[in-house]
Structure 1
Amino acid sequence: MMSNLSQPTIAAFVPMRHSSERVIGKNYRLFAGKPLYHYIVESLLNCPQITQVCIDTDSPNIIEDAQQNFPNVKVLLRPEHLRSGMTPMNDVLLNSVSQVEADYYLQTHSTNPLLKSATISQAIDLFVKSPDYDSLFGVTRLQTRLYDSEGKAINHDPNILLRTQDLPPVYEENSNIYIFTKTILEERKNRIGYQPLMFEIGRDEAWDIDEEVDFRIAELLYKTRQESLNS
């Protein structure tokens, strides 16, 4: 039950493993002068709707750095059996929600450094004001010609060459933001519920770092944004 109808409690989780396969040490690697994970944590701390920010990690580097730089952030030590790169994120989150009480839970990643506090707040407000939905997840609009592995068109008729901007949009789950309840996570073993609300985020803000090229592009986009703000 919600603790306060007008101001629900919201706990935000940032899960981070110490090791990563494709971009070594990416969670704490320097990005535009600061460890990568600082950007999303700062964005979350600047959201007035968020009651508690939590880092779930097995990284001694992140634990030590977070204690020094983010004393108000709760650090959850990830247990041994959940540290494999093959462990589903939903299993990690089930462990996290068992340790932190809240009306709603929000999860994002350190690999989304361009995600703004205002966008997170907008997603929260939209979800809280949308009682017909039981969860929310971030998406990126795609208007491009897509094909399946057998070469069959997915979202267009190859015999009618529409301009890409005139194609009906499809949406990619971008992993930037999820909002859900403990009940939904426990029942479905999934962050996405029975009636999810898709929340669109612009491509330039939704950039997710999976590979080295993503790191470099995201860093360039961030520096360009800062130069524009300072000009």
Structure 2
Amino acid sequence: MSYIGFIPARAGSERVKYKNTRPFAGYDGGLLELKLLQLSRVSRLSRIIVSSNDPAVLEYAATFSRERDHRVEPCERPNEYGTGATSMETFIKDYIAHLSKDGTMLWTHVTHPFVRADTYDRALDEYERARTTGCDSLVSVNRVQKFLWKDGRPFNYDNTLEKWPRSQDLEPLWDINHAIYIMPFDVMRTAGDRITPKSHFFEIGEDVAMDIDWEEQFLLVEEIARARIEQGRSLL
């Protein structure tokens, strides 16, 4: 089976300036370098597409391809698909789904620095098992078992039966964390989306799924990354 890695990294982040390539936890190429190193350890990927309208990202990806892993392919993204105003639906249907005629995409983001190669390998293994049961794709999720309320009443438990059940007894909900999507390109073209009713949920821990959306998160996650490195824990 042909798997193609996909990293979207558009220019002009408003909340975290230069988040893709600014130095991060000892990696001079930042989150982009770290993610490319992680994906380079996933042997089942035949290609690793880096889609961006940021010259710095494209230049770094090209250098990485020449010097470290020829599977990396910088792909210049048309500006109409590279602004904050671009809807995700349009980005998926009109751009991503057509990056390859054949094969299966493994879509990930640089802003999940703790998703390592072994997690991607486990996701691919689980996807291949799930396909035998009729699933057509895989989406990474976090389990949510918290006391959630909506419209003045509990949302995910019945407090007329027990006011405070044990949290582990709550029926789990699933938070799509955007760390990993695995889907054949033809399924994406048909669905017009990166999730379908037949998607398999792949649970990962919150310590793995940490995401960077804000400057404060960048600084906090960087400190956690440095601490893990000092403890001898690989980020790769």
Tell me the TM-score normalised to structure 1 length: 0.89
Return the alpha-carbon distance in structure 2 between the equivalents of residues 209 and 197 of structure 1. 24
Specify the alignment match of 1:156 in structure 2. Answer: 157
- The sequence identity of aligned pairs, in percent, is 30
Is the counterpart of residue 165 in structure 1 residue 168 in structure 2? Answer: yes
Between Structure 1 and Structure 2, the one with more helix by share is 2
Specify the alignment match of 2:232 in structure 1. Answer: 229
Q: Which amino acid aligns with 1:197?
A: H
Deviation string 1:51-84 (CA, Å, 9 cap, x unpaired) is 1111000001111122223332101100121122
Specify the alignment match of 1:43 in structure 2. Answer: 38
State the Cα distance separating 1:86 from its structure 2 match.
2.4
Classify the secondary structure of the residue corresponding to 2:232. helix
Task: Give the CA RMSD over aligned residues.
Answer: 1.9
State the Cα distance separating 1:227 from its structure 2 match.
2.0
Tell me the TM-score normalised to structure 2 length: 0.87
Pick from 142, 145, 148 the counterpart of residue 146 of structure 1: 148
Is the counterpart of residue 61 in structure 1 residue 56 in structure 2? Answer: yes
Unmatched 5+ residue regions in structure 1? 1-7
Task: Show the 5 A alignment for 1:90-105.
Answer: 90-93=89-92, 94-105=94-105
Deviation string 1:90-126 (CA, Å, 9 cap, x unpaired) is 5334424424344211101110111010011110111
Change (3 A) 1:90 1:225: farther
Pick from 57, 63, 70 the counterpart of residue 65 of structure 2: 70
Q: 1:37 touches 1:113 (CA, 8 Å); kept in 2?
A: no
Q: 1:10 touches 1:103 (CA, 8 Å); kept in 2?
A: yes
Q: Which amino acid aligns with 1:103?
A: G
State the Cα distance separating 1:174 from its structure 2 match.
0.3
Q: 1:133 touches 1:197 (CA, 8 Å); kept in 2?
A: yes
Is the counterpart of residue 213 in structure 1 residue 216 in structure 2? Answer: yes
Q: Which amino acid aligns with 1:184?
A: V
